[in-house]
Structure 1
């Protein structure tokens, strides 16, 4: 067996710490870079030229571009994120309401029939007939 064999003790603990630290910083850097790019596209206040300029600045000079973007426009990044999340939640809620059928005439008629049946205003047979009529 010719050659050198590298064992775990050949890599000092400080070197391992430094590697993990740099890897973590790289992950954080890419997370920030992508968040800035998403914010550029999501911002409705910027026009096409502004979005293009910021995007080119961030892509061509990433460290300087992200730093300048965060300093210049970072204050409202959180507000835009919250507004986007609220809009998505409202869209989801309206979809669920429409899919569940709340507010449709059939649902309202069935709820009135059930209420009348519970009060004893109509009999079981009348309730079943009226319910079948509404559903068909």
Structure 2
């Protein structure tokens, strides 16, 4: 058999091995992230899962994905929803309402900082 096919087989095998290993690492990080995200699971059970992930990594990862895999998506979705709500609340608190912007512009107009023309532009922008 020519060396080309032996080397090609080795390249394919190594590539497949690397892809499988990286996929395992992604699954492992997802599992660990899910363990610490779950508020219903006690600290002792989290420690047991981590212990078994270290001692018997592949079998424990498979068991975890079978036993608790369905809830992983729900917990990730709940965390994403909570993060979005927090971001939206922050944006609302920083942005203020159009009435606040108009009141600030009116205060600047009364103080003589801006002209009537600039006030009209700011008012139109706040109402848009």
**RMSD over aligned Cα, in angstroms?**
2.8
1:79-118 aligned within 5 A: 79-102=74-97, 107=100, 110=103
TM-score, L = length of structure 1: 0.69
Residue 26 (structure 2) aligns with: 31
Query: Per-residue deviation at 1:101?
Result: 2.5
Name the SS of the counterpart of 1:94 in structure 2: helix
Larger RCO (alpha carbons 8 Å, 6+ apart): 2
Is the CA contact (8 Å cut-off) linking 1:110 and 1:131 kept in structure 2?
no
TM-score, L = length of structure 2: 0.73
Question: How many positions carry a matched residue from both structures?
Answer: 111
Larger radius of gyration between Structure 1 and Structure 2: 1
Residue 117 (structure 1) aligns with: none
In structure 2, stretches of 5+ residues that fail to align are 114-128
